[in-house]
Structure 1
């Protein structure tokens, strides 16, 4: 049998502690995974795992062999990547994760554009506001919107995320438009459940203004927050990358444009610069070129509108 695949099964089983889960991850049957595991033990000449109906654990021989087996897989992956680089055509699978709102508004289109340039690259995009475990979930690239970076990870800045206060025309027609942050005290506001607490914070001319507000609707999902604001539930703070179409179509109105709010960095995050697949390097470069600049592409409309006013 293919020894490399046998080693891969052994490493996957040792990582997950389950033959069934390892087989699912490697897209093979449990019977096939079991045969590969037996082949790995035959090749290495030792029993690698203790197996019972409830638990799988490493034997002493398995513990001794595991680091070398992992290194063997890394070298094999590196060899494939080097071969691909010689042909200047990236191949393989990339697992990418990001917040659902950024995936919907910006990243999905960017990934499709990247695949049009490199059609041999397969991409799995997972979305969610909870930060993924790059190691446990086997994620190649995370696009995160944060000002707090894990020092154990490698990161590359892609763009700046600005937020803005907005409301629907219907809400403003009923309750009026705030002219100063203090006016927000008498308005209905909607918020992200894991956001900034019961207050808004603005800055202008070096002065910080904090305004306590009364939240009437909470959600843990940015897309739902946008939908609530569109429906007239109240005033909300949303990322500008998600609002361009709504603002241009007049479905939403930007409020208090003369007051600044905190910004966040948009970062490409991955585990290591070593043994990095060609496809991953090219994708990070592609996203950096697409999103970077003093004014991100999704803020061009706002910048042009301010210059015209």
Structure 2
């Protein structure tokens, strides 16, 4: 049995918390995963995991071995990536996570282009609006838009996203065009369902205002907000990338053009600066280049900003 593969199975089984979850990830069966773990334990002459019908947990020896095994895998992948880089080849599975709307509207097409450039790389694109744990869920890179990053986050700043008020011309013709921020109190707001509070923050230079708003319609999907605004449901705060094409086509217009909402930062996160497989490094560089020219994203300052 391939010992390196057994190490991978052991590491992911601990990270996922069950043999069945590891089996799904490796495209095999739970008995096969169990056999791989048993093989590793026989080689080491040590029990690595405690098994039960409900849970799986590492022994003290298993917990200690996990850190070393993970380091071996990372070093091996880095060595392979170095050789592949010399030959210009990259292969394997790349797991990418992104927010739903950003993924559908921008990342999906970007991934298709990347795959066309690298035919030996497979991609699994996972779209959800929660902050995933990259290590625990086996994600290679994750796009993060706005919000607070984890304190130990490693990644690259891709862009700053302007946000502003927009509405359909038909809605403004029906309800009136706000001339000053205080006029917004008489309008319907289309809001993201999970946004806390009912106020909107607006900025003009050094000026800042916080205004109460009324929302008859709230939805937990940015593409649904986009459609609702086009249909004339109200005024909404939207990122530039979401509505740039609609503004250009005249289906939406800026409201209170001198005022903007707080901008968002877009990051591409990854588990570690060290031992990144070649396919991961290639995608990070590719994505950074894409966002430098993509409409709705500002990229001031240095070409690379790591944290």
TM over 0.5, shorter chain:
yes
Pair 1:110 & 2:110 matched: yes
Alpha-carbon RMSD: 2.2
> In structure 2, do the counterparts of structure 1 residues 24 and 219 end up closer, same or farther at CA, with 3 Å as the change threshold?
same
> What's the CA shift for 1:75?
2.6
C-alpha displacement of 1:242: 0.8
Retained in 2: the 8 A contact 1:129–1:221? Answer: no
What is the match of residue 266 of structure 1?
A: 266
Instruction: Provide closer, same or farther for how the CA distance between residues 157 and 30 of structure 1 changes in structure 2, counting only shifts above 3 A.
Output: same
Residue matched to 1:44: 44
Residue 32 of structure 1 corresponds to which residue in structure 2?
A: 32
| Structure 2 Cα separation of the partners of residues 63 and 33 of structure 1 | 18
The answer (yes or no) to whether the contact 1:145–1:264 under 8 Å persists in 2 is yes
Q: CA deviation at 1:220?
A: 2.3
Q: Quick check: 48-57 or 171-180, which moved more? A: 48-57
Pair 103,17 (structure 1): closer, same or farther in 2 beyond 3 Å = closer
Q: CA deviation at 1:174?
A: 1.5
C-alpha separation in 1, matches of 2:111 and 2:148 = 25
CA distance in 2, matches of 1:39, 1:205: 65
Report the equivalent of 1:307. Answer: none
Following TM superposition, by how much is the alpha carbon of 1:8 offset from its aligned partner in structure 2, in angstroms?
A: 2.3
Alignment partner, residue 90 of structure 1: 90
The answer (yes or no) to whether the contact 2:15–2:137 under 8 Å persists in 1 is no
RCO comparison, higher one (Cα < 8 Å, 6+)? 2
More displaced, 46-55 or 114-123?
Answer: 46-55
Q: Which moved more, 1:62-71 or 1:129-138?
A: 62-71
Aligned to 1:204: 204
Deviation at 1:206, TM superposition (A): 2.6
Post-superposition offset of 1:209 = 2.6
Structure 1: give runs of 5+ residues left out of the alignment: 301-309
1:202–1:259: 8 Å Cα contact kept in structure 2?
Answer: yes
Deviations 1:208-232 (Å, cap 9, x if unpaired)?
A: 2332221221222212222221222
Is the Cα–Cα contact under 8 Å of residues 96 and 142 in structure 2 kept in the other structure?
yes
Report the CA distance between 1:185 and its aligned residue. 1.2
1:3 Cα offset (Å): 1.6
Conserved in 2, the CA contact under 8 Å of 1:244 and 1:299? no
Q: Closer, same or farther in 2 for the Cα pair 1:156/1:47, shift >3 Å?
A: closer
How high is the TM-score relative to the length of structure 1?
A: 0.88
Map of 1:47-196 to 2, 5 A cutoff?
Answer: 47-146=47-146, 148-195=148-195
CA pair 176-111 structure 1, distance change in 2 beyond 3 A:
same
Alpha-carbon deviations, 1:196-252, whole Å to 9, x = none? 632222222432233222122122221222222122211111111011222222222
Give the 3-state SS of the residue equivalent to 1:162 in structure 2.
strand
List runs of 5+ in structure 2 lacking aligned partners.
Answer: 299-307
CA contact (8 A) 2:15 2:136 kept: no
Cα displacement string for residues 146-174 of structure 1 (whole angstroms, at most 9, x for unaligned residues): 26332301121111111121112321222
For 2:49 and 2:204, the matched residues in 1 are separated by 64
2:296 paired residue among 287, 295, 298: 298
Give the whole-Å Cα distance in 2 for the aligned partners of 1:64 and 1:244: 51
> Is 2:49–2:59's contact at 8 Å kept on the other side of the alignment?
yes
Q: Mean Cα displacement is larger for which, 39-48 or 265-274?
A: 39-48
Q: What corresponds to 1:5 in structure 2?
A: 5
Structure-2-length-normalised TM-score: 0.88
Say which SS state the counterpart of residue 131 (structure 1) adopts.
coil
